A and B are shown apart, each in its own frame.
Chain A
């Protein structure tokens, strides 16, 4: 399978918006992690849809080294009521709409991995739209992309293709370096 993101662009710490169909978006998540891990990156997955426990299981099945992935999980606490953070592995957030907590978690997880080749994978903007208005999402993505550029870290934002209105799409396009439509 051809590479989704270019290793050269990833090495230049570029930021990507990756679009996929609703049916393939979960597989794209796995494909991306495989690719990024294969290039020696540690991936921080911000998940708003599937809990970390399930995702890590699915990654392991696909031969992805669990040590190369850590999570910011916005799903589990809502279901179980409580879940303890596991340093270096997962940080839990109560609610995907809580951008303050998510911002803090991103900052702290990035600190934990400072000095490493790190890439952030945000899965997904489309699910975030259930909880947040597009202006708020836009502001948050702007905040995250600024932070990534300041810390010289690459990032990938996943979204369902044709699921973003032209205004939000235009804004996101200005925040990232390239938009990749995987179909």
Chain B
């Protein structure tokens, strides 16, 4: 936009418009471009001299007829109600064929030669790409991610959250408290709420808090929660990340159960055999048992020992089955 000394914007205004970091186009009747600033040239790739004085740039920036008609309809719809629009987002095609997302704001203003529209376009391509990236990360994460408002209302509910809980994002964000559905037992809910309130009062976040949720299908899942406060438009948002540790917990419990079973069936029996042998030795020394009886007593202990050995082998086999990474040499040894 070249500053003019007479009947145009003043030098200062012209300078501001020219050097603004947003694209500015002044449009006359039927969208004819009257002014096209440097940022507009940079963003679109179309030079001022090619654009000013005609309407052809719009066709170039929206080359796809269907999309162009769609944008035109949206603009016409807005302008039917008011003579400006705010926050209209469109995707333009640049001179080199690239795509950019522009956030448009317009304002009608009067000049000596009649009404003109000042259109301000902000290039938000990177912002949208970042948003898309964030959304994609949240969507594709294999952990439950929920962004919560001040009152715990759900603002974001990712795909993993839907899969784990069974509740769709519409159900989670819709009317009715999702947390009441996830914690249907009032007493348990009260306990959890108390825990969370206590932790938040101290730290404003919590880490690895384990709770048991009830899914839409009625199953229970154990979730390990981590939260952080994040800034929102009105502040006070928090992000809750929940890891489904149900299977891990089951595996841990199974391991503990298995280990204690083995302790009962290996460690303790060795002690029993030892004490039995002590008794047999004592009875033998005291000559309270005959040779046949000693043999019988020892036979019983041999049988016990044989069974303990079988139990150890069973344990080793179970370890081998659970741990595929054990090297072959050890696998062979443990497999007996």
Chain A residues with CB under 8 Å of chain B are 22-23, 25-26, 49-51, 53-54, 57-58, 61, 75-76, 78-80, 126-127, 129-131, 133-134, 160, 163-168
Residue of B nearest to A21 (CB): B275
A163 and B275 contact, CB distance less than 8 A: no
- Tell me, yes or no, whether B271 is within 8 Å of chain A by CB: yes
- Tell me, yes or no, whether B307 is within 8 Å of chain A by CB: yes
Binds A, one of B16-24, B260-268, B325-333: B260-268
B260 and A165 contact, CB distance less than 8 A: yes
A130 and B263 contact, CB distance less than 8 A: no
Chain B residues with Cβ below 8 Å from A165 are 257, 260-261, 263-264
Give the distance in Å from the alpha carbon of A69 to the alpha carbon of B95 in the complex. 106
Minimum C-beta distance from B260 to chain A (A) = 4
Residue of B nearest to A76 (CB): B296
Known: A51-B293, A126-B269, A129-B268; 20 extra A-B contacts, CB below 8 A, are A23-B275, A49-B300, A50-B279, A51-B296, A75-B300, A79-B300, A126-B272, A127-B272, A130-B265, A130-B269, A130-B272, A130-B307, A130-B311, A133-B265, A134-B261, A134-B264, A160-B268, A164-B264, A165-B260, A167-B257
Contact of B308 (CB < 8 Å), options: A23, A58, A76, A130: A130
- Tell me, yes or no, whether B322 is within 8 Å of chain A by CB: no
B307 and A168 contact, CB distance less than 8 A: no
**Contact indicator per residue, chain B 265-303, by CB within 8 Å of chain A (1) or not (0):** 100110110011001000100001100010111011001
Give the distance in Å from the alpha carbon of A54 to the alpha carbon of B257 in the complex. 36
- Tell me, yes or no, whether B304 is within 8 Å of chain A by CB: yes
- Take A49-B276, A127-B272 as given contacts and tell me if A168 and B257 are in contact as well, using a CB distance cutoff of 8 Å: no
Chain B residues with CB under 8 Å of chain A are 257, 260-261, 263-265, 268-269, 271-272, 275-276, 279, 283, 288-289, 293, 295-297, 299-300, 303-304, 307-308, 311
Minimum C-beta distance from B275 to chain A (A) = 5
Interface of A: prevailing SS? helix
B276 and A79 contact, CB distance less than 8 A: no
A51 and B297 contact, CB distance less than 8 A: yes
Contact of A79 (CB < 8 Å), options: B260, B265, B295, B308: B295
Minimum C-beta distance from B216 to chain A (A) = 31
Chain A residues with Cβ below 8 Å from B263 are 165
Minimum C-beta distance from A80 to chain B (A) = 7
B293 and A54 contact, CB distance less than 8 A: yes
Residue of A nearest to B264 (CB): A129
Minimum C-beta distance from B197 to chain A (A) = 32
A sample of 9 cross-chain residue pairs with beta-carbon separation below 8 angstroms, ordered by A number, consists of A51-B296, A76-B296, A79-B296, A79-B300, A129-B264, A131-B307, A165-B261, A167-B260, A168-B264
Minimum C-beta distance from A128 to chain B (A) = 10
Residue of B nearest to A133 (CB): B261
Chain A residues with Cβ below 8 Å from B293 are 51, 53-54
Chain B residues with Cβ below 8 Å from A76 are 296
B264 and A22 contact, CB distance less than 8 A: no
